[in-house]
Structure 1
C-alpha cells in the first residue's frame, strides 16, 4: 500500500518530463526552421510565446493522462496488494479480479494460482493432522496393550512362580512343624530368600513403570531423583558421576533416561549385584554413558534378558543416533557403554 503514491509520482514525473522534452524539441525545431527559411515575419519573442503556449498545452495533457494512467495503475496495484495482505492473514479463498492480459494481469493470475495451491496444501495438512491424531491414538493403544502383555508375561515368569514356590514351601513347613524342626528351618530360609527375590522383582517392575516424562526437570535432576529412590527402597549401592548432559535435545534426554532406567531395572531383577557405577561425560562431540555392576553376569548369546530389555535399550540408542555396546561375563558383572553424538 505504501508504494502506490510513489508509483503515481513516478508516472506524473514521467509525463511531465515528456512534456518538457517535447517543448524543448519543438522550440529547437522552430528555431531551425526560422533560421533556414529566413522568415523575418516571426520574431524571437513570438516564437518564445508559441513555445510557452505549446508547453502549457503539453503540460495540461501530461497532467490529464498522467492522472488517468496513474489512477488505473494504482487501482490495480492496490488490488494486488490487498490480495497479498488477505493471503498473509490466512484468507486463502480470496481472488484477484481482472481480465487484462498485460504484465499485471499475468501477475494477478499467478497469485490466484498460488492461493489455490496454498488452499489445497492447507486441506492436505488438515487431513494429515487428522490422520496423525488417529495414528497416535492407535499407537498409544497398541503400546499400552504391548506393555500390559509384557508385564503380564514378566509377572507370570517371575513373581507368580515365586509366589507359587512360597505357597508350596510355607505349606510344607506348616506340615513339618513338630516333626522335623531342622527341615522347617531350612524351608523358612528358602521362603525368606524367595520373598526377597520377589520383592526385588516387583520393585524392578515398578521402576520400569515410572513415567518417562521428565516433568520439566533436567536429565541430571531426574536421574538424581531416580537414584535416590532406588537407594531408599533397596540395598543397592549406586555411585553416580553425572556430567556433560546440558543442552541436550528433549528426545535425547528422554531416551537416555529410559535407557538408564531399563538398565537399573535389569540389574535389580537379574544381576544380584550390590554395587552399580553410572558415569556420563561429554567429550569430542559425544555424550558418553557408562554403567557397570558387580553382579553375576550372564551369557549374551544364551540369556533371555537379551530378548526384550537389552534389545529395547539398543533400539532407543539407535533412534537418537547413538552407539550401544554391552559386555558381560558370568560371575564378573555387566558393562554398558553408550555414545551419542551431540
Structure 2
C-alpha cells in the first residue's frame, strides 16, 4: 500500500491536494480579513464558511481528476523507459521506444534508443569477430591438434595413468593375499572394480574431447544427437533431449555452442556422478536458449577444490561471451548443476 502511495500518479494527486489546501486557507484568511475590517452585510461568517467549504470540496474533485489525468502521460513514458531498460538487460537490443515531442522524458528515450543501437552494432561486431575467429581456427587446425594431444597426454598422465598404476599395485596385492586372507582379497577386488570404473569414466570424458572441433557440415542439432548417441552406447546415463532445428546461426556460433555442450558433458562424466542429463535448446526470433542440467552431486562455486571443473566452466563462459551470449550457472552440493545460455540471433536481412 505504501509503495502505491509513493507512485508517480499519487505524487501528482498529492501535489494538487496540497495546492488546494493552501489556496483554501488563503481564501479563508482573505474573507475573514474583509469581514473584520469592512464588515459588509453580505459577507457573514456563515457565507464565508459555506463558500470556503464548497470551494474545497469542488476543488478536491478537480484536484484528484486533474492529478490523475496529468500523471497518466508521464507514467506511460516512465513505464516505456522501464520496459526498454529491462529489454536491454535481457539482451534484446532491437527494442525501441516510440516517442514524439521534445521534453526531458523524450530526450531520455532518444538516448536509450541510441544506446540500444550501439549495443546492437557491438553485438554484430562481436559475432563477426567470432566468425573470423572460427575461420582462423580452421587454418590453424594442425597446431590446435598438437596442443590438444599434449593436453590429453597430460590428463592421461594425471588421471588415467595413475589409476592404472594403482590397479596394477592392487592386483599384485590381491594375488599375494588370495590364499592367505580371502576376505581381505575380496575387499581389495571391490576397490579394484571401483578404481577401474573411475578410470573408464575418465577415459570416456577424454575421448569426448577427441571429437572434431568443427561440426563437419552437420547441423547443430544433428551433431548434438550424434554425440549423445555415442555416449549412451558407452555409459549408463539417461539423456533427455529437446532440441529445435536451429536456423540462421553463423557457422562460428554453432561451433561455439557445440563445444560448450561438449565441455559440459565432459565435466558431467568426470565430476558430477550423475544418472540423468537434460539438454534443452529452443530458438525464437530473438535468441537461442540452451539449458543443460544434471542430477549429479553438484558443487560449491566458491570452494577452492574445483580446479578442473572451474576451468571447464571458465571455458564455457568465455565461449558464450565471445558470441554475445549470457552464461548463467546454478549449482549446490547434492542438488545437481543447471546451466542456462542465451545467444541473441541475427536475422538474415541484418547479416546482409
Q: Which residue of 2 aligns with 1:310?
A: 313
Deviations 1:260-288 (A, max 9, x none): 01111111111111100110112461111
**Paired residue for 1:336, among 329, 335, 339?**
339
Q: How far, CA to CA, are the matches of 1:137 and 1:272 in structure 2?
A: 34
Q: Which residue of 2 aligns with 1:321?
A: 324
Q: How far, CA to CA, are the matches of 2:137 and 2:260 in structure 1?
A: 23
Q: Which residue of 2 aligns with 1:158?
A: 159
> CA 1:229–1:141 in 2, change beyond 3 Å: closer, same or farther?
closer
Q: How far, CA to CA, are the matches of 2:267 and 2:138 in structure 1?
A: 29
Is 1:196 paired with 2:197? yes
Kindly report which structure 2 residues correspond to 1:244-283, keeping only aligned pairs within 5 A, or say none. 245-283=246-284
Higher relative contact order (CA 8 A, sep 6+): 2
Q: Which residue of 2 aligns with 1:105?
A: none
Q: Which residue of 2 aligns with 1:167?
A: 168
How far residue 299 of structure 1 moved from its aligned partner, in angstroms, is 2.0
> CA 1:159–1:288 in 2, change beyond 3 Å: closer, same or farther?
same
Preserved contact between residue 267 and residue 309 of structure 2 (Cα < 8 Å): no
How far residue 308 of structure 1 moved from its aligned partner, in angstroms, is 2.4
Preserved contact between residue 271 and residue 309 of structure 2 (Cα < 8 Å): no
Q: RMSD over aligned Cα, in angstroms?
A: 2.1
Is 1:295 paired with 2:323? no
Q: How far, CA to CA, are the matches of 1:193 and 1:205 in structure 2?
A: 19
SS in 2 for 1:308: helix
Preserved contact between residue 166 and residue 195 of structure 1 (Cα < 8 Å): yes
Preserved contact between residue 289 and residue 339 of structure 1 (Cα < 8 Å): yes
Kindly report which structure 2 residues correspond to 1:67-216, keeping only aligned pairs within 5 A, or say none. 139-140=140-141, 142-216=143-217
Per mean C-alpha deviation after superposition, the further-off stretch among 200-209 and 238-247 is 238-247
Preserved contact between residue 300 and residue 306 of structure 1 (Cα < 8 Å): no
* TM-score, scaled relative to structure 2: 0.56
Q: How far, CA to CA, are the matches of 2:283 and 2:171 in structure 1?
A: 53
How far residue 138 of structure 1 moved from its aligned partner, in angstroms, is 9.3
Larger Rg: 1
Deviations 1:221-251 (A, max 9, x none): 1111111111111111100100262221111
Structure 2, unaligned stretches of length 5 or more? 1-132, 346-352
Q: How far, CA to CA, are the matches of 1:137 and 1:280 in structure 2?
A: 26
SS in 2 for 1:331: coil
Q: How far, CA to CA, are the matches of 1:297 and 1:161 in structure 2?
A: 25
> CA 1:137–1:334 in 2, change beyond 3 Å: closer, same or farther?
closer
Q: Which residue of 1 aligns with 2:286?
A: 285
Q: How far, CA to CA, are the matches of 2:208 and 2:288 in structure 1?
A: 24
How far residue 146 of structure 1 moved from its aligned partner, in angstroms, is 3.1
Deviations 1:202-231 (A, max 9, x none): 111111110122222111111111111111
> CA 1:284–1:212 in 2, change beyond 3 Å: closer, same or farther?
same
How far residue 141 of structure 1 moved from its aligned partner, in angstroms, is 5.5
> CA 1:218–1:142 in 2, change beyond 3 Å: closer, same or farther?
closer
SS in 2 for 1:174: helix
User: Following TM superposition, where does structure 1 have runs of at least 4 consecutive aligned residues deviating by more than 4 angstroms?
Assistant: 135-142
Q: Which residue of 1 aligns with 2:38?
A: none
Deviations 1:70-112 (A, max 9, x none): xxxxxxxxxxxxxxxxxxxxxxxxxxxxxxxxxxxxxxxxxxx
* TM-score, scaled relative to structure 1: 0.57
Preserved contact between residue 244 and residue 287 of structure 1 (Cα < 8 Å): no
Deviations 1:138-192 (A, max 9, x none): 9555533432332122112211111121112111111101111111111111111
> CA 1:186–1:150 in 2, change beyond 3 Å: closer, same or farther?
same
Q: How far, CA to CA, are the matches of 1:137 and 1:224 in structure 2?
A: 23
